[in-house]
A and B are shown apart, each in its own frame.
Chain A
Amino acid sequence: MFSYGSKRLSNLIVNGIKRFNSTLVIAEHDNANLSGVTLNAITAASKFGGDVTCLVAGEKTASVVEQLSKVKGVSKILVAENEAFKGMLAESIAPLVVSSQNQFKFTHIVAAGSATGKNLIPRVAAKLDVSPISDIIGIEDHETFVRTIYAGNAVTTVRCKDAVKVLTVRGTSFEAAETEGGSASSEQFAGDGSSNELSQWESADLSTSDRPELTSAKIVISGGRGMKNGDNFQLLYTLADKWGAAVGASRAAVDAGMVPNDMQVGQTGKIVAPELYVAVGISGAIQHLAGMKDSKTIVAINKDPEAPIFQVADLGLVADLFKAIPEMTELCNK
């Protein structure tokens, strides 16, 4: 029935469409503000060429949609407002993403490598029967990605053979998209996921702080086992407030109960890459370095000159932190 000619034509069409990538970015927000890491994910999505669509799902979406519509690089916003999206549970968001995929046939689905993105994206990928790629730090082409393995001790380049590429993006590896100058249109999207019998969001216990957010701060001061106790972290808070810095911690400090878990920097905590990272009383275990070694300038303050942290530090001060930190604070008062 089909001639050679029409088959060739259809191949041409398929190849032609292939060149037009289209990417879906899952927006992360708290029903009021767009999360900063989504801006990094949008930049990564823009690298594929083609249209960037954002999906905003939540109980309240109006102000997030308004913010997103101005973000440079976003062409369309799909809006799904429903009580069922409370807490961004994967059981309700994944079906929504899958139905948007079925309708719009994106070539890439992207989310930030945050707790929310890490929770959601693999569930979406499994529903599409594709292998997700976690926490990419680079994009070579539409199917080739760079990511770290072994706590950042090796960098691997992988080619994804699946038809749809489902990715999480390491925020610190991509600039944030500009929040002005965009003009995206928005439309309501009624996909699946509006009923979820499997799980329910109960409550949250979030740390509140006036300091900048750890993953996007320009300066991060982190304390480790050497801080000895939680009260001593006040020394770091005082200095951090002078510098407009965020405060992080090593696993040792978290495990010892000095500070809450969400302050942990490392392979299993947050990945940060600020302009300036100051490690105070942190020895520099592999797992901690995984979370901060892409910082532009690293300063280590430790009384042990043999501490491995000095091998990655640009500036090292071998000193007792209980003397050095108050001195530095004092110097910054002048």
Chain B
Amino acid sequence: MGVLGPKMAFRVLVGCKRVIDYAVKVRVKPDKTGVVTDGVKHSLNPFDEIAIEEAVRLKEKKIATEIVAVSCGPPKCQEVLRTALAMGADRGIHIEVPDEEYASLQPIHVSKILAKLAAQEEASMIIVGKQAIDDDCNQTAQMTAAFLDWPQATFASKIEKTNGDLLVTREVDGGLETIKVKLPAVLSTDLRLNEPRYATLPNIMKAKKKKIDKKKPADLGVDITQHVEVLKVEEPPVRQAGVIIENAEQLVSKLREAGHIQ
């Protein structure tokens, strides 16, 4: 039995985080409590876009049967769920977390939520971005896999399904490595996994009709008590302005003077 029988559903859960757009130069708040988010352009975390794209491709290959996009946070998270739905996700689940509590929501909470949802939805695979470009944590996939006791295939740049297993090529420090993981599994995407598609206007219109369920962490029995307290957020040190030099010869002699090169 189990979720992987030939005629059973192969449901993919995809984590979708709403983050400040990657092209925005963030500003730290003067009171050092965080960065300015009001009135700043937000979008779907780029790594999660890659996760959605991969899930859609698995569906196009007739491997996945349903794609469920999940986002945790304040009401505006529904915008990123709509983006995921327009790219091809079938339905969405919004885990509502009010702003005050969202400020201290960590990957440990999100992964507990994803683990509970995976059980409820009988998911065969969870796929999330390798990191969110706001907190730069790179933890959620690994922790979700741990809570479920599923294998993890992180920093994936290629995914192939063979029988009940996945063959995943991972981006590691010295190059690439390939591992085999049993399904169900948790995956995290690296940049090179795919090129996410643009949502077309008709698909954006269709996405408006797709369903987004709302739940609260408490509905899933997940406690979101703070584990990590943010004491302060500051600007990084500013580098001294440099000098423009005339030519290659001058550059080499400056580097020699400074003792960098012989």
A binding-site residues for B, Cβ under 8 Å: 87, 89-91, 94, 114-116, 118-127, 129-135, 144, 147-162, 197-207, 215, 219, 242-243, 251, 254-255, 260-262, 267-268, 270, 275-276, 286-287, 293, 297-299, 301, 305, 310-319, 323-324, 327-328, 331-332
Q: Once bound together, how far apart are the Cα atoms of A319 and B249, in whole Å?
A: 12
Q: Which residues of B in the span 2-52 have a Cβ within 8 Å of any Cβ on A?
A: 20, 22-23, 25-26, 28, 35, 47
List, in ascending order, chain A residues with CB within 8 A of B149's CB.
Answer: 198
Contact A299:B182 (CB < 8 A) given known A127-B146, A151-B133, A287-B22: no
Query: Can you name 18 A-B pairs with beta carbons within 8 Å?
Result: A89-B179, A121-B142, A122-B107, A122-B146, A123-B142, A123-B146, A123-B152, A132-B108, A148-B236, A156-B234, A201-B179, A205-B177, A206-B176, A299-B251, A312-B239, A315-B243, A316-B243, A317-B247
For residue A263, which residue of chain B has the nearest CB?
Answer: B175
Contact between chains at A203 and B143 (CB < 8 Å): no
Q: Once bound together, how far apart are the Cα atoms of A215 and B150, in whole Å?
A: 32
Q: Which of B35, B141, B261 contacts A154 (CB 8 A)?
A: B35
Contact between chains at B181 and A198 (CB < 8 Å): yes
- Does B245 sit at the interface, judged by CB under 8 A? yes
Secondary structure of the A side of the interface?
Answer: mixed
For residue B154, which residue of chain A has the nearest CB?
Answer: A119
Contact between chains at B147 and A131 (CB < 8 Å): no
Q: Once bound together, how far apart are the Cα atoms of A89 and B182, in whole Å?
A: 13
Contact between chains at B235 and A155 (CB < 8 Å): yes
- Does B172 sit at the interface, judged by CB under 8 A? yes
Q: How far is the CB of A307 from chain B (nearest CB, A)?
A: 12
List, in ascending order, chain A residues with CB within 8 A of B133's CB.
Answer: 150-151, 267
List, in ascending order, chain B residues with CB within 8 A of A254's CB.
Answer: 192
Contact between chains at A328 and B227 (CB < 8 Å): no
Contact between chains at B226 and A161 (CB < 8 Å): yes
Contact A199:B181 (CB < 8 A) given known A118-B138, A328-B248: yes
Binary contact track B99-136/A, C-beta < 8 Å → 1, others 0? 00000001110010000000000000000001101111
Q: Once bound together, how far apart are the Cα atoms of A206 and B20, in whole Å?
A: 34
Q: Which of B140, B167, B242, B245 contacts A202 (CB 8 A)?
A: B167
List, in ascending order, chain A residues with CB within 8 A of B178's CB.
Answer: 202-205
Interface size on B, residues (CB 8 A): 83
Q: Which of B107, B175, B179 contacts A262 (CB 8 A)?
A: B175
Q: Which listed segment binds A: B76-84, B85-93, B214-222, B252-260?
A: B252-260
Cross-chain pair count, CB within 8 angstroms: 263
Q: Once bound together, how far apart are the Cα atoms of A242 and B256, in whole Å?
A: 13
Q: Which of A116, A122, A135 contacts B143 (CB 8 A)?
A: A122
- Does B173 sit at the interface, judged by CB under 8 A? yes
For residue B254, which residue of chain A has the nearest CB?
Answer: A315
Q: Which of B20, B139, B245 contacts A132 (CB 8 A)?
A: B139
Q: Once bound together, how far apart are the Cα atoms of A91 and B143, in whole Å?
A: 12
Contact between chains at B139 and A261 (CB < 8 Å): no
For residue B135, which residue of chain A has the nearest CB?
Answer: A149
Contact between chains at A327 and B236 (CB < 8 Å): no
Q: Once bound together, how far apart are the Cα atoms of A74 and B181, in whole Å?
A: 35
Q: Which of A202, A206, A293, A331 contacts B174 (CB 8 A)?
A: A206
List, in ascending order, chain A residues with CB within 8 A of B228's CB.
Answer: 131, 133, 158-161
Q: Which of B47, B146, B182, B244 contacts A318 (CB 8 A)?
A: B244
Q: How far is the CB of B150 from chain A (nearest CB, A)?
A: 7
List, in ascending order, chain B residues with CB within 8 A of A316's CB.
Answer: 242-245
Contact between chains at B154 and A331 (CB < 8 Å): no
Q: Once bound together, how far apart are the Cα atoms of A297 and B245, in whole Å?
A: 14
List, in ascending order, chain A residues with CB within 8 A of B138's CB.
Answer: 118, 122, 134-135
List, in ascending order, chain A residues with CB within 8 A of B142's CB.
Answer: 90, 118-123, 126
- Pairs A-B, 9 closest by C-beta atoms: A126-B146, A131-B227, A122-B142, A198-B151, A122-B139, A327-B248, A126-B143, A206-B175, A206-B174
- Does B137 sit at the interface, judged by CB under 8 A? yes
List, in ascending order, chain B residues with CB within 8 A of A131's CB.
Answer: 106-108, 227-228
Q: Once bound together, how far apart are the Cα atoms of A285 and B260, in whole Å?
A: 25
